[in-house]
Structure 1
Amino acid sequence: MINHKIVKIKRSKKYSDRFIIYFENKSVLRVSEDAFVLNPMKVGDLLSDSDIKELDDKMNLHEAKEAAYRLLSYRMRSIAELSKRLIEKGFNDVEIEFVVNHLIELNYLNDEDFGKAFILEKVKSKKIGPVALRFELVQHKLPSELSNMLIEKIYDEFPINKLISFHLDKRKIIKNTILNKKDQNRLNNFLKRKGFYWDSIVSVYSEWGIL
């Protein structure tokens, strides 16, 4: 078994909660402050390859957790989205699975809570329809059953005909006034871009008497 002699220990200038361990063979090991407290080291100590690997693995997990916390501090994220971002940052599957499970246990990651908040913001603020909502939601890779349930619930709370009527009011459409072809096409395209099904659009047009 090869042992590696520590020749220098210093606190990281960039990250105050980390120590940098220098070995006689010019290799370097980064260690979190917590790991250093649990495994005190001093110049002259010898560490085996397995000791170094264990400390390095712990450091990688520590960094993965810190990266996840930073990402969640900006906004809520789905499990799949957070996992993807951690992959992009170079963490491996084992590290990501550990961190994700840890955050789920703490309820910092919860797809249902994320989905509810995401959908509410999109529908309440932007008044979008189910086509647009589903398109935006699919990017966060929520389980399909959960997505369907949340979409159904949000349009129970914010009925589609009322959302379409909101857009008609906002565009100053007058009830029982037939639009010319140009204005009708422009309105049709706008509501389609907002993510409403054509059947729903026609139904509201009929209620308003603008067909």
Structure 2
Amino acid sequence: MQEKIEKAKAAALRLLSYRMRSCKEISDKLQDKGFTQNIIQAVIQDLKRINYLNDYEFAKAFIESRLIHNPKGKTLLLYELLKKGVDKDTVNKVLDEIISREKEENIVKVLAQKLWQKKRNLDKAKRKAQTYNYLARRGFPASLIIKILEELGN
């Protein structure tokens, strides 16, 4: 039993050496490798104890990375983290800490201005529609998108 736990722990540490992961991601990967639920739980508890696995820190790093490299709205970030197995309360807490209303507004402004410039050869209505759709697909609230587009349109 102890030998299997060590083998599972080594596999989990190997996965964590590439990037941070949620508890569920580690659990799923270990399950795919054929480890039993008891062994997986023991490994996850041990990794949590030594702070190698922490869903709160994972969510925080994930969101900060997304904001820098691939900005998305709270809605889409929430969905992505839930898909990775992070608890909804944890995700909401981290989102509220990291993304204020003003920060989200600034992100939308920057993305809208970039696309607005890129599509300058189109007529205003088409430009507005494409910019709106782009921002909506990235998980930003409709009310905020409309507000920013009105500012850009003037």
1:128 aligns with 2:128: no
CA distance in 2 between counterparts of 1:160 and 1:204 reads: 11
Task: Kindly state the Cα deviation for residue 207 of structure 1 after the two structures are TM-superposed.
Answer: 3.1
In 1: Cα distance, 2:87 partner to 2:80 partner = 14
1:207 has 2:151 as partner: yes
Deviation, 1:61, is 1.2
Superposition pairs of residues 55-204 of structure 1, within 5 angstroms:
57-156=1-100, 159-173=103-117, 180-204=124-148
Q: Distance in 2 between matches of 1:137 and 1:204?
A: 27
Please, what is the CA RMSD of the aligned residues?
1.9
> Amino acid of the residue matched to residue 98 of structure 2?
I
Q: Which whole-Å CA distance do the structure 2 matches of 1:202 and 1:169 have between them?
A: 13
Percent identity, please. 31
SS in 1 for 2:99: helix
Measure, in 1, the Cα distance between the counterparts of 2:139 and 2:16: 29
Quote the offset at 1:172 in angstroms. Answer: 4.4
Unaligned runs of 5+ residues in structure 2 are none
SS in 1 for 2:6: helix
- Over 3 Å counting, the alpha-carbon distance change for 1:198 and 1:83 in structure 2 is same
The CA distance in 1 between the partners of 2:54 and 2:133, in whole Å, is: 36
Higher strand share: 1
- Which amino acid counterpart does residue 46 of structure 2 have in structure 1? H
| More helix, by proportion | 2
| Greater RCO (CA < 8 Å, at least 6 residues apart) | 2
Runs of 4+ in 1 over 4 A off after TM superposition: none
Deviation at 1:157, TM superposition (A): 8.4
